Structure 1
Amino acid sequence: MAWRQLVLQTQYPDFGEEILEAQGALAVSMKPAEDVDPILEPGPGATPLWPRVCLEGLFPDDSDLGPVYRALEDLLPDAAQMGAEETLVPDTDWVRNCLDNMGAMRFGQRLWVAPHHREVDAPDAVVIKLDPGLAFGTGTHPTTDLCLQWLDGASLHGQRVLDYGCGSGILAVAALRLGAREAVAVDNDPQAILATRENAVNNGVDALLHCALDTDFDADGDFDIVLANILAEPLIALAPTLLARLKPGGYVVLAGLLDRQADQVEAAYPGIAWTRNALDGWTRLAGRRENPQP
């Protein structure tokens, strides 16, 4: 089996990546464009990208890329200079390749995510064992990174957590490993539910985790913490659902939105005192629901 690869150049890699994924890309990778010098050691706080980036989007070989081209032309600011080309690439063991190159990653002070073949030798480390698999979420994307950092710094002992749009279940599993008493993981993809259950078993927290498709989600009671790492439009649409499950005084953490989308997402969640954190063009919103006046 071969795969169809769409290669283009842009100054706006985050926008390009979002467009390709929204159009069905199975994977998107970045590398420097051929006409620029590589950044081998970015300065402190600098974004480790290049003035012009080569994006490679991978699609099934029978894909019609016409809609992808049209979406890029409509939405990518420098579409006129993208120079898009198609190539066919042979099938390979992508998961094995990823595992061979994936190391342990730390988020915050004590939380680590590592594949099963990597050991973490750090005092007080809380380690989540997670291999790339069926569903999105290994900690490498800035949105997941931002959520894991928040969890590392939160007081989770005895808390009830909702992970809406769970993907691999990494956030729910992390919350439980950090002391939450219970977590509910919800997604619209059956593969995500399978991956979440498997990762919970592998990390010894399956007895504390409940999974459900969004069509079946009807958890009892309210949640101390609501996490949703998806995209801006569904975050806005889901605001009534998520707020209905959040306790007064509880925390809501939203990610998957670009910096420019933060104001619009905030406005959909009244009664929350927000803080913002950004990484590589993505924003995390975290806030506490105000307690009602006595």
Structure 2
Amino acid sequence: MTWQQLICHTTVEHQEVISGALEEAGAASVTFEDAVDQPILEPLPGETPLWDQLVITGLYPAEDDLTALLLNLELHRGEWGITELKLEQLEDRPWVREWMDNFHPMQFGKRLWVYPSWREVPEEATDAVKILLDPGLAFGTGNHPTTALCLEWLDGENLTGKTVLDYGCGSGILAIAAAKLGASTIVATDIDPQALEATQENARRNALTEARIFTCLPEDMPDQTFDVVIANILSGPLVSLAPTILRYLKPQGRIALSGILADQGQAVAAAYQNRLEEVQMAAKEDWLRLEGTAQVSSN
């Protein structure tokens, strides 16, 4: 089947009316893309992650007549903030196969490999610690630099027999990595119930029992401290939740924080450094990871 796509550049305040018009015209799908490379990570539950400047694309069968839709959009161009509008014919290609080919086994550190179900870890990776993870709704597949920074850090830590907290677990990739690397007890928490479901489903797919990773909402967290705490969330919540996150860290426990843009590093460090020693920063592309060790006295 061949397709055509209608591409519309606009701003976030007009996304609802434009996407509604595309859907009413029979779009097989409507997608949103960032027009100016503005980063957005994990949205709050019920929110749609949208950028200030948007590219909205409607996908239609090639035989559909979109004249009326184009006229409607042209008529409202100024009112709906449309700065560019174009119709493209798409080459008949195996789209699903091309999408799947974009996801391949990825190595993090010396041992960790993350791979999708339709690919295999390279045979030469004889000592690999393997995590099966297909792209899904919950944030965290290893593709984003923040997730990569956290996986590399976990790979470099001695987790054997350690207790680990994954604060803001998303897909559960970090909790699963901790389990595969020998942690004895793992708790994964997130404000989004869908993330908790994704974590348990991904754990099952990695042959981990439900009891291996305990999942809960933050308000249901067990009253305990952990040898290792890792949080890959946004810098704003990292700052505001610093007292809460630090409360779960044992004296001399290890912590890693990510989801931090380069210009946000100082603010996050300031929220944690009075309770940590050996604080270090690592960078990947425009993102940072903060790591450190809890002081002997946590009071």
TM-score range, shorter chain: 0.7 to 0.9
Classify 1:233/1:178 alpha carbon distance in 2 versus 1 (closer, same or farther; 3 Å): same
Which amino acid in structure 2 is aligned with residue 157 of structure 1?
Answer: T
Is 1:24 the counterpart of 2:48? The answer is yes
Quote how far apart the aligned CAs of 1:85 are. 4.1
Quote how far apart the aligned CAs of 1:57 are. 5.5
Runs of 4+ in 1 over 2 A off after TM superposition: 4-8, 17-26, 55-61, 83-89, 93-101
Rounded Cα–Cα distance in structure 2 between residues aligned with 1:279 and 1:264: 18
User: Equivalent residue of 2:40, what SS?
Assistant: helix
Which has the higher Rg, Structure 1 or Structure 2? 2
2:222 maps to which of 215, 219, 243: 219
User: Equivalent residue of 2:199, what SS?
Assistant: helix
Rounded Cα–Cα distance in structure 2 between residues aligned with 1:94 and 1:190: 31
Quote how far apart the aligned CAs of 1:291 are. 1.1
1:278 maps to which of 277, 280, 283: 283
- Between the two proteins, the alignment pairs up a number of residues equal to 237
Deviation sequence 1:176-213 (CA, Å, 0-9, x none): 00110111111111111111000111112233100012
Q: Which residue in the other structure is 1:52 paired with?
A: none
User: Equivalent residue of 1:17, what SS?
Assistant: coil
User: Equivalent residue of 1:180, what SS?
Assistant: coil
Q: Which residue in the other structure is 2:147 paired with?
A: 144
User: Equivalent residue of 2:200, what SS?
Assistant: helix
Classify 1:168/1:6 alpha carbon distance in 2 versus 1 (closer, same or farther; 3 Å): closer
Quote how far apart the aligned CAs of 1:2 are. 2.9
Which amino acid in structure 1 is aligned with residue 49 of structure 2?
Answer: A
Q: Which residue in the other structure is 1:165 paired with?
A: 168
1:2 maps to which of 17, 29, 36: 29
- After TM superposition, the structure 1 = structure 2 runs for residues 10-159 of structure 1, keeping only pairs within 5 Å, are 10=36, 13=37, 16-18=38-40, 24-25=48-49, 85=84, 98-120=99-121, 121=123, 122-159=125-162
TM-score, with normalisation over the residues of structure 1?
0.72
Q: Which residue in the other structure is 1:177 paired with?
A: 180
User: Superposition RMSD on alpha carbons, in Å?
Assistant: 3.1
Structure 2 gaps, min length 5? 1-27, 60-81, 89-93
TM-score, with normalisation over the residues of structure 2?
0.71
Deviation sequence 1:203-247 (CA, Å, 0-9, x none): 12233100012232x213210011110001000111111111100
Q: Taking every aligned residue pair, what percent have the same amino acid on both sides?
A: 47
Structure 1 gaps, min length 5? 29-54, 62-82
